[in-house]
């Protein structure tokens, strides 16, 4: 759930509060992470698996959620990288993304 309200310190700046199961899952992924790694839940993996190489890291205990299947993101799929620039998406990436 997303709730917007004016920030008490400024009448021109909005602040947002976000809560719910998605936020709880994101918090558990963050607290179960490994420095220097991108750690995602299975639900997120299902959304990005056609674009990124991911490594299953296992079912990880998560406070108040039991266990969550988690993955490390390893990078763009080879066929979606610009030549000699493995971190930059190519035109095929853009085409696939536009179809979502």
Q: Check residue 25 and give its pLDDT.
A: 85
23 neighbors 30 (Cβ within 8 angstroms): no
Rounded Cα gap, residues 18 and 97, in angstroms: 26
> Tens of pLDDT along 19-72?
788 888 888 888 888 899 999 999 999 999 999 999 999 998 888 888 999 999
Q: Check residue 46 and give its pLDDT.
A: 96
pLDDT for 5 beyond 50:
no
Rounded Cα gap, residues 58 and 79, in angstroms: 26
Q: Check residue 62 and give its pLDDT.
A: 83
Annotation says 63 is catalytic: yes
Q: Check residue 11 and give its pLDDT.
A: 60
Q: Kindly list the domain boundaries of the chain, sorted by start residue.
A: 2-98
Annotation says 12 is catalytic: no
Q: Higher confidence at residue 30 or residue 10?
A: 30
Rounded Cα gap, residues 17 and 40, in angstroms: 22
Q: What angle do CA 31, 33, 38 make, to 5 degrees?
A: 130
Rounded Cα gap, residues 62 and 12, in angstroms: 38
pTM for the whole thing?
0.74
Instruction: Give the fold, CATH level 3, of 2-98.
Output: Alpha-Beta Plaits (3.30.70)
DSSP, res 20: S
| Given the residues 42, 49, 63, 95, the one annotated as active site | 63
């Amino acid at each position: 759930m997303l709730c917007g309200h004016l920030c008490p310190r400024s009448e021109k700046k909005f602040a947002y509060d976000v809560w719910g199961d998605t936020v709880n899952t994101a918090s558990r992924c963050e607290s179960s992470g490994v420095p220097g790694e991108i750690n995602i839940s299975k639900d997120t993996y299902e959304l990005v698996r056609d674009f990124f190489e991911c490594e299953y890291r296992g079912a990880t205990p998560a406070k108040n959620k039991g266990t969550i299947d988690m993955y490390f993101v390893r990078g763009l799929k080879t066929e979606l990288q610009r030549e000699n620039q493995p971190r930059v998406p190519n035109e095929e990436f853009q085409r696939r993304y536009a179809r979502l």
